[in-house]
Amino acid sequence: MVRVSAGARIHFGFLNLSLARDRLYGGLGVGLDEPSVVVSAEPATDIQCHHPTAHEYAERAVDLLGVSGAHVVVERTLPRHAGLGSGTQLALAVLRAVAGATETDVSVRHLAPEMGRGGRSGIGVAAFERGGAILDAGHPTARFTTDRPEDGSWTVPAVAARHSVPDHWRFLLVVPDVDPGRNGAAEEASMRSVVERADPATSDRIAGIVTRRLLPSLADGSAERFGDAVESIGRLNGTWYADEQGGVYRPPVGALVSSLSESPAVYGSGQSSWGPTVYGVTDTSRVDEAIEAGRVALDAAGIEGTVTVARGRNHGANVE
């Protein structure tokens, strides 16, 4: 039996969504140690899996790897469509577990597109591979249209920059009990609409923040400056999505971010992917204050939810 465990990820936003620039997308994110997905697999003569989504991934994996089957068990999974990368981490964990159980060589990056992952953002695949704080290179705009291509017809965006997350950094996760983030056909339609209308000037502003604020903060290990930079990038991304999600942040994320911004323990906050997860950047010296700020934010918004703190994950999936 082979067991694979992979952590969640935060997606801070994209570098460019305008067709007027040379490269499209370009994700920015960070791997987390928790929450995590854990999948085990054993060789079998057919496909056995009681988890509906994982069963579909197991079918693809068995076909791609050319093996007879596998018994796949999902021991732990991430909340679906919450902005934590549940789909990609589950798909790749299943693929890696089936390959390990059947003693088959596999390149997760190479086969991720065949699993339907890594089409726009490469953050989930890169986090599965090595973790860390990641900036991916996006796609050449001339070869990537507003319509989602067929599975397997793209390559996962290359990692343009990666830094290990400093040991003293922490990431606050506030997950309100509200509807899940946009996904499936609704997400595809929204992304098409956003890309067709995106203001290229916003991309230029984001590029300046990345080069003058974000990358230097990673190089010198400043959680305060990193938090400020990713919050700014998130807000600019939100201007692209405002018509699709009802504001710079999807409701009620805006209220939660506004409340968190009042706490000196939270150096920057925003919406991960389509939400509803709200992240906050803090460090070991302010963890208790940051957790309290998260609880206050939920109470002020009149919403139930969970508040946790995670470390950055500086390695890829564990395979046992």
Mean pLDDT of the chain: 95
Structure tokens at 207: 């590029």
Task: List, for residues 17-76, the tens digit of each pLDDT value.
Answer: 999 999 999 999 999 999 999 999 999 999 999 999 999 999 999 999 999 999 999 999
**Alpha helix segments (H runs only) across the chain:** 52-65, 86-101, 108-111, 123-129, 184-197, 200-209, 215-220, 223-245, 253-260, 287-301
Residue-level pLDDT at 180 = 79
Question: Hey, where are the domains in the chain?
Answer: 2-319
Half-sphere exposure of 81 (CA within 13 A, CB side): 11
d(CA 104, CA 265): 47
Q: Which residues of 2-29 are buried (b: 16+ CB within 10 A; e: fewer)?
A: bbbbbbbbbbbbbbbbbbebebbbbbbb
Tell me the CATH architecture of domain 2-319: 2-Layer Sandwich (3.30)
Residue 128 clears pLDDT 70, i.e. is over it:
yes
Task: List, for residues 149-166, the tens digit of each pLDDT value.
Answer: 666 667 999 999 999 999
Among the residue ranges 147-156, 179-188, 246-255, the one predicted with the least confidence is 147-156
Task: List, for residues 190-206, the tens digit of each pLDDT value.
Answer: 888 899 999 999 999 99
Residue 186 clears pLDDT 90, i.e. is over it:
no
Residue-level pLDDT at 286 = 98
Which residues are 16's β-sheet partners? 25
Average pLDDT rounded to a whole number, residues 257-281 = 97
User: Which phi and psi angles does 45 have, rounded to 5°?
Assistant: -85, -10
Residue-level pLDDT at 147 = 60
Burial of 281 (C-beta count, 10 Å sphere; 0-12/13-18/19+): buried
Residue-level pLDDT at 209 = 98
Residue 145 clears pLDDT 70, i.e. is over it:
no
Residue 181 clears pLDDT 80, i.e. is over it:
no
Residue-level pLDDT at 191 = 85
Q: Identify whether the C-beta of residue 92 lies closer than 8 Å to the C-beta of residue 54.
A: no
Average pLDDT rounded to a whole number, residues 138-149 = 73
Residue 4 clears pLDDT 80, i.e. is over it:
yes
Q: HEC states along 231-276?
A: HHHHHHHHHHHHHHHCCCCCCCHHHHHHHHCCCCCCCEEEECCCCC
d(CA 63, CA 56): 11
Block residue for tokens 């390959």: 99
Task: List, for residues 78-94, the tens digit of each pLDDT value.
Answer: 999 999 999 999 999 99
d(CA 99, CA 93): 10
Residue-level pLDDT at 204 = 97
